[in-house]
Amino acid sequence: MKEQLSNILREAQQIYFQIKNLEELENFRIKFLGRNGLLAQISDSFRNLSLEERKEIGKYFNFVKEEINKLYLEKKEILTSPQKIIFDLSHPGIRKDRGIKHILTQEIEEIKKIFFTLGFNIEEGREIVTEEENFDSLNIPPNHPSRDLWDTFWLNKKNYLLRTHTSAHQVEFLRKYGVPIKFTIIGKVYRHEATDQRHEMQFHQIEGVSVGEKSNLVELKSIFKIFFEKYFNKKIDIFFRTSYFPFTEPSLEVDINCFLCQSKGCQLCKKSGYLEVAGAGMIHPFVLRQASINSEKYFGYAFGLGLERLIMLKYDIPDVRLFHSTDLRFINQF
């Protein structure tokens, strides 16, 4: 009898899913719960059982009846209140706040990828370097006035400082790899400067170095063209202006055409039509010799890009200090 009851329950559960309207529901009710329904029929035969058996089966009978009744009521509720949405797909879940990569991290990853595809090794270097690395090896002897180009944070330990530029690693990696070689150094640099909209005490540089028998400024220009067109996703023209760095000869300032106004003159380019984006030049033979490279046979170019400046141009960010602020309104935009 127990088996009979559980078969009835299973059948009811199966039919439950097929009921599509009130008429079918009524048939369901009559079939299982009606006065001559399956349950009623079974309860008639209880009479033949002993008191003990009746007690046990009765319990199970009540359970089955209740379950079927629940199914009936549940379906009734669904069918009689069609407005009620059982699964509301538009109902938002519980939102979990997820962190995102900081814009600086995102852009560094992107820039690394571009230079990697252009055949450059990717390096980082240390932020604490020696005076020799940051200055002497780059043809900037002690007490030379050109040291004033880099406002330096000196550390208490003699000869040590926070690198003022990623050029501090040029000789280190040239020594490490030998020639020919192409590598970039991407990382944070420090300058003892007053901060304002365009200056920060810490910022990032992307250093590029290429040394080989045929490295030249035409190649540098092509590398820049590919890099900037990929990075800004626009057609870009590259312009060289002469400049001065002790470790390059000739030295250049690199400009690109202002992509915001097509060089007509706007706020971004300060009406000049050009945007200054990098310092560069042919590596001074002095620097090559520091790395024990034959400067008669090998030539190289080097460049230094300011990461924050590039990002500010790309996304029209007005103030460099925003990068190190904890203002989530800024950070979460990217």
- Spatial distance between the Cα atoms of 67 and 230, rounded to a whole number of angstroms: 66
Interface residue with ligand PHE, options 25, 280, 311, 320 (CB under 6 A): 280
CA distances 44 to 38, 64, 96, Å, are 10, 16, 58
Residue length of the chain? 334
Q: Which amino acid is at 200?
A: E
Identify whether the C-beta of residue 32 lies closer than 8 Å to the C-beta of residue 90.
Answer: no
- Spatial distance between the Cα atoms of 21 and 11, rounded to a whole number of angstroms: 18
Q: What is the dihedral of CA 231, 234, 237, 243, to 10 degrees?
A: -40
Q: Does 65 bind ligand PHE (CB under 6 A)?
A: no
Q: Does 304 bind ligand PHE (CB under 6 A)?
A: yes
Q: Is 187 strand, coil or helix?
A: strand
Q: Quick one: tokens of 176?
A: 């490490």
Identify whether the C-beta of residue 279 lies closer than 8 Å to the C-beta of residue 252.
Answer: yes
Interface residue with ligand PHE, options 167, 210, 215, 257 (CB under 6 A): 167
Interface residue with ligand PHE, options 245, 259, 299, 323 (CB under 6 A): 245
Q: Does 279 bind ligand PHE (CB under 6 A)?
A: yes
Give the range of 14-22, 124-132, 259-267, 278-286 binding ligand PHE by CB under 6 A: 278-286
Which CB sits closer to ligand PHE, 248 or 257?
248
Phi, psi of 188 (to 5 degrees): -85, 140
Q: Does 72 bind ligand PHE (CB under 6 A)?
A: no
- Spatial distance between the Cα atoms of 2 and 46, rounded to a whole number of angstroms: 12
Which CB sits closer to ligand PHE, 256 or 302?
302
Alpha helices by DSSP H, listed for the chain, are 2-18, 22-33, 38-44, 51-80, 103-117, 131-134, 170-177, 217-232, 285-290, 307-315, 328-331
Interface residue with ligand PHE, options 281, 287, 298, 312 (CB under 6 A): 281
Give the range of 68-76, 151-159, 211-219, 296-304 binding ligand PHE by CB under 6 A: 296-304
Interface residue with ligand PHE, options 137, 303, 313, 323 (CB under 6 A): 303
Compute the least distance from the CB of residue 160 to ligand PHE, in Å: 19
Residues 177-236 that bind ligand PHE (CB under 6 A): 207
Total residues contacting ligand PHE by CB under 6 A comes to 11
Give the range of 63-71, 87-95, 211-219, 302-310 binding ligand PHE by CB under 6 A: 302-310
Letters for 110-129 (x = contact with ligand PHE by CB under 6 A, - = none) are: --------------------
Compute the least distance from the CB of residue 326 to ligand PHE, in Å: 27
Identify whether the C-beta of residue 300 lies closer than 8 Å to the C-beta of residue 282.
Answer: yes
- Spatial distance between the Cα atoms of 291 and 234, rounded to a whole number of angstroms: 38
Q: Is 261 strand, coil or helix?
A: coil
Interface residue with ligand PHE, options 137, 184, 210, 248 (CB under 6 A): 248
Compute the least distance from the CB of residue 305 to ligand PHE, in Å: 8
Q: Which residues bind ligand PHE (CB under 6 A)?
A: 165, 167, 207, 245, 248, 279-281, 302-304
